[in-house]
Amino acid sequence: MRIATFGSHEDLPEVKSRHRDSRDYPHGIAFMDGQYLPMSEAKVSVLDWGFLHSDATYDTVHVWEGRFFRLNLHLDRFFRGMERLRMKLPHSREEIEGILANCVALSGHKSAYVEMICTRGGSPTFSRDPREAENRFIAFAVPYGSVANSDQLKRGLHVAVSETVRIPPNSVDPTIKNYHWLDLINGLFDAYDFGAETALIMDTSGNIAEGPGFNVFTVKGGQLKTPAFGVLPGITRQTVFDLCKESGLTAAAADLTRDELLQADEVFITSTAGGIMPVTRIDHTVIGNGDVGSVTSQLTNLYWQKHSDPAWSTAVNYR
């Protein structure tokens, strides 16, 4: 069933109360072509350049206990990406914020993974000229998911470092969130072959870059470090820097060697899908004493506390 609504959450139709129970849409809600519809009905044309050429940008924000976390930062990055890729949408920032809120409210999910996407679209004349393509906006809200499951969060993840090299930033700008993931997927397969649970891959200089959908931090002597080159500056990564300032901790973005990673006192990864997640084993090396570290635990607790802070989060209206 399609729900023909549009605009901000103030414009939700009378059906909103009838459909607010997440059991009605257990797999979530999508917005496409001016309509809200079940995820099973959300389709992208095979002629869309987003599908044919990975010509798209996107951003993902999560909702926790009925509140968006750092939504403004995610919207900022989404609009920067569209500007850099010369994409334009008929929706204002305020309208897109309303669409995202509508998706969450209609799904009824109090904890959700919410994505906004702009694809190049397709040309009505099948031209190869990207200037003739009609850019397309898609959004959806699905149940919240994490890179690490509950057991992994308690004991820490086992990560393998793959020799796969991240796409050079002078080829594809990593600060624009994109779907160019073949390097990351190859790294994942390397990690699985090793018996690990996820992967980190290298930058073009042989330093640590990032993993599939996450940044990495080390803690050594109480000081934090995260790779600076060839990585997406994640919103959760930025949140760690902000939390460190509040906590009197020192954090820096700089080259991170494989040896530094293996010799760290603590290691954790950061992602919108999971927050701050501990790593206790890399390749064959146990990190620290093999337990989740004190700095990681401190930052994790602060991170989740901020989710109820109005300065860091935005309430969803589920009327």
Q: What is the pLDDT of residue 1?
A: 43
Q: What is the largest CA-CA distance in the chain?
A: 62
pTM beyond 0.85, yes or no: yes
CA angle 224, 229, 234 (to 5 degrees): 65
Q: Can you give the three-state secondary structure of 107-147, one letter per residue?
A: HCCCCEEEEEEEEEEECCCCCCCHHHCEEEEEEEEEECCCC
d(CA 169, CA 227): 13
Cβ–Cβ under 8 Å, residues 222 and 212: no
Tokens of 205: 């200089």
Confidence bin at 7 (pLDDT 50/70/90):
very low
Rg over alpha carbons for the chain, rounded to the nearest Å, is 20
Q: Is the pLDDT score of 19 beyond 50?
A: no
d(CA 186, CA 191): 9
* Burial group, residue 170, by CB count within 10 angstroms (0-12, 13-18, 19+): exposed
d(CA 199, CA 159): 5
Please, what are the domains in the chain? 9-145 (3.30.470.10), 150-307 (3.20.10.10)
- Which residue has tokens 């609504």? 5
pLDDT in tens, 74-96: 999 999 999 999 999 999 999 99
Average of per-residue pLDDT values in the chain? 92
Q: What is the pLDDT of residue 23?
A: 54
Contacts of 305 (CB under 8 A, 6+ apart): none
The candidate with the shortest Cα–Cα distance to 109, out of 79, 140, 151, is 140
